[in-house]
């Protein structure tokens, strides 16, 4: 059948029509790319020195132990020739099927049956996976310092993942099958999606992960009833309406990270941590941070502590009439909560009764996967970019975290959107993930340089208003929740920080899953379990081995702990209409900064 068979009465075929659209889309794409703002090359990748060191280490290994290198090479070429010969034999015999699949070469990217049944696709897949194993083996044998080896491994994996045959149209059977079935319509729609993403980000390629029109804050997402009861240049403070007749006497305030927006804790009623806390009979306040523009360039950690945390402590105590409150911090907000509590200890003040830390690092001696970005080359590049912009743009932050899970958050979505022409899904979590925020320039430098890179909090040398705030200064009762597969705040690092805090009342909970799914895990789902161990904190490994696994969410365990720190029951507190500024989720969460 030819393309002419699809045309009627001299009309162009669907394929011809689709091909004609490519010209106009290409023109739009070039216009979008022309708007791309130049960025410092130091934020795009490591310096050449890293690869020079890697090459030198490999060559040194060849000289010191040539037999081992030869053994690797012989094994690599042996596997390569074996699979190539099997594919050639299958084609020559006319038996159009692939060799028996190798169970050691499984990868969920290659789920299409053609990867196992078609000799050519099977050869591409198998050779790619053999190459991947060979690269991993070579890096594993390199004599490099641990931090350099981790960086070589990370950035090499990025290259290897980028070169997967699934990422190219000519070697992706899913995309080719759909292109044929739709007479090119899927490719045109994919180009439409690509151009739209470029236009939306002024020439930068940021993949749309979720349908942006599917969710409206306050209507079908972030819907827990509440009122904004305080606002300053840094934040809006939301007091949520009670759903019980009585509440615990001591209120709770949750500080979300300002790297993202707070409503990850209130995506929809079924998985809303905010709604669940309210339903447990707690008076709940949540901070919604401003999304800063360049006018915030000189806002640093001191401002987040004084205009943020300490101001909120005072407002919540005044609103509720309580001398003390309970506080919780998530990720970077947990780190800053720890600094704030240590600073209060040095001032002899105690407005906080207990503290909860969600996926929080305070000891950065081992920063985990993000440590690959803390070397001098990246730090210098980020510093120059911040000086130029006055902020650390959400684009850089989003791209960095996405590359930590590149197959899930970059290449997989790109294949579906740009090759398959699929519309992004109506997925609330991915919608939130794409709704990022900027960081003020001074604060970003202090966090990256003084905390992440130099580990000054754990070393007792981080200054708040010129006064040292050591980890040992956190002396009130604490509960920490870490997540087993967290790629941002790894649980062992979280454990080590909590261990060094000065509190004599510590509870540590290790949840299954990652940075978001491990925290946003409602009991009703019965999904991820958690580990508990009331023993004194020793090492992460010893604690983990001696811990007890508990099926289901950690939320009920935290509720019991929090209730024990929250006093008697009192009449439910409703937001005062006279001091209510607007309904939750407020205005800062939707404001678009001028950059």
Catalytic residues: 331
| 535 backbone dihedrals φ, ψ, rounded to 5° | -65, 160
Beta bridge partners of 480: 357, 508
Could you give the residue ranges of the DSSP H alpha helices within 462-519? 491-500
**Longest Cα separation, the chain:** 88
**Integer Cα distance of 482 and 519 in angstroms:** 8
CA distance 289 to 436: 12
Q: What backbone torsions phi and psi does residue 553 show, to the nearest 5 degrees?
A: -65, 150
CB atoms within 10 A of CB 26: 12
CA distance 29 to 190: 12
**Three-state secondary structure along 510-566?**
EECCCCCCCCCCCHHHCCCCEEECCCCCCCHHHHHHHCEEECCCCHHHHHHHHHCCC
Query: Which two three-digit tokens encode residue 193?
Result: 């999606």
Q: Residue 442 in contact with residue 297, Cβ under 8 Å?
A: yes
Per DSSP, the three-state class of 507 is strand
Give the residue among 421, 428, 516, 401 at the shortest CA–CA distance from 211: 428
**Nearest residue to 130 (alpha-carbon basis) of 102, 149, 156, 155:** 102
Q: Using omega within 30 degrees of 0 as the cis cutoff, is the peptide bond preceding 57 cis? A: no
Cα 414-419-421 angle, rounded to 5 deg: 95
CA distance 409 to 432: 13
Q: Which two tokens stand for residue 575?
A: 């937001």
Sign (positive/negative) of CA torsion 440, 443, 445, 448? Answer: negative
The rounded radius of gyration (Å) of the Cα atoms in the chain is 27
Sign of the C-alpha dihedral computed for residues 106, 398, 335 and 441 taken in this order: positive
> CA-to-CA distance for 8 and 76, rounded, in angstroms?
55
CB 189 within 8 A of CB 18: no
Virtual torsion, Cα 209, 214, 215, 221, nearest 10 deg: -100
Helix axes 173-181, 185-200, angle to 10 degrees: 110
Number of neighbours of residue 17 by Cβ within 10 angstroms = 16
């Amino acid at each position: 059948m030819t393309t002419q068979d699809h045309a009627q009465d001299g009309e162009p075929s669907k394929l011809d029509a689709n091909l004609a659209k490519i010209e106009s889309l290409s023109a739009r794409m070039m216009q979008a790319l022309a708007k791309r703002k130049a960025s410092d090359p130091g934020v795009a990748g490591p310096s050449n020195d890293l690869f020079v060191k890697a090459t030198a280490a490999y060559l040194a290994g060849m000289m010191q132990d040539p037999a081992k290198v030869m053994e690797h090479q012989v094994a690599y070429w042996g596997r390569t020739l074996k699979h190539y010969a099997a594919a050639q034999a299958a084609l020559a015999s006319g038996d159009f099927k692939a060799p028996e699949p190798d169970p050691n070469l499984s990868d969920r990217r290659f789920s299409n049956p053609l990867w196992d049944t078609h000799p050519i696709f099977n050869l591409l897949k198998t050779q790619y996976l053999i190459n991947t194993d060979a690269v991993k083996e070579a890096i594993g044998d390199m004599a490099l310092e641990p931090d350099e080896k981790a960086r070589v491994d990370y950035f090499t994996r990025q290259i290897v993942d980028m070169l997967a045959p699934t990422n190219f149209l000519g070697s992706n059977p899913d995309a080719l099958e759909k292109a044929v079935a739709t007479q090119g319509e899927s490719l045109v729609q994919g180009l439409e999606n690509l151009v739209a993403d470029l236009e939306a980000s002024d020439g930068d390629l940021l993949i749309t992960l979720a349908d942006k029109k599917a969710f409206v804050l306050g209507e079908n997402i972030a819907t827990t009833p509440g009122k904004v009861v305080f606002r300053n240049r840094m934040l809006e403070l939301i007091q949520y309406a009670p759903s019980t007749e009585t509440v615990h006497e001591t209120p709770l305030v949750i500080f979300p990270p300002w790297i993202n927006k707070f409503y990850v804790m209130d995506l929809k009623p079924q998985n809303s941590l905010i709604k669940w806390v309210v339903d447990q009979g707690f008076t709940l306040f949540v901070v919604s941070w401003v999304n800063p523009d360049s006018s915030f360039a000189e806002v640093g950690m001191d401002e987040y502590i004084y205009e943020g945390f300490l101001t909120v402590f005072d407002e919540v105590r005044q609103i509720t009439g309580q001398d003390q409150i309970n506080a919780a911090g998530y990720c970077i907000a947990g780190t800053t909560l720890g600094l704030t509590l240590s600073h209060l200890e040095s001032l002899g003040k105690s407005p906080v009764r207990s503290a909860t830390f969600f996926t929080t690092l305070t000891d950065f001696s081992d920063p985990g996967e993000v440590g690959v970005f803390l070397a001098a080359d990246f730090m210098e590049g980020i510093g120059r970019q911040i000086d130029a912009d006055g902020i650390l743009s959400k684009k850089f932050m989003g791209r960095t975290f996405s590359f930590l899970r590149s197959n899930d958050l970059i290449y997989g979505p790109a294949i579906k959107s740009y090759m398959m022409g699929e519309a992004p899904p109506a997925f609330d979590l991915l919608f939130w993930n794409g709704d990022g925020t900027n960081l003020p320039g001074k604060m970003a430098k202090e966090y990256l340089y003084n905390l992440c890179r130099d580990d000054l909090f754990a070393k007792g040398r981080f200054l708040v208003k010129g006064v040292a705030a050591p980890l040992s200064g956190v002396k009130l009762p604490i509960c920490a929740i870490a997540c087993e597969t967290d790629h941002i705040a790894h649980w062992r690092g979280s454990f080590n920080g909590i261990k060094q805090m000065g509190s004599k009342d510590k509870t540590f909970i290790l949840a299954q899953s990652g940075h978001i799914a491990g925290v946003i895990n409602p009991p009703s789902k019965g999904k991820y379990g958690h580990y508990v161990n009331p023993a004194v904190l020793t090492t992460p490994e010893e604690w983990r081995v001696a811990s007890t696994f508990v099926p289901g969410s950690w939320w009920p365990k935290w509720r019991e702990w929090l209730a024990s720190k929250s006093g008697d029951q009192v009449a439910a507190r409703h937001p005062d209409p006279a001091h209510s500024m607007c309904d939750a989720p407020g205005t800062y969460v939707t404001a678009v900064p001028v950059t």
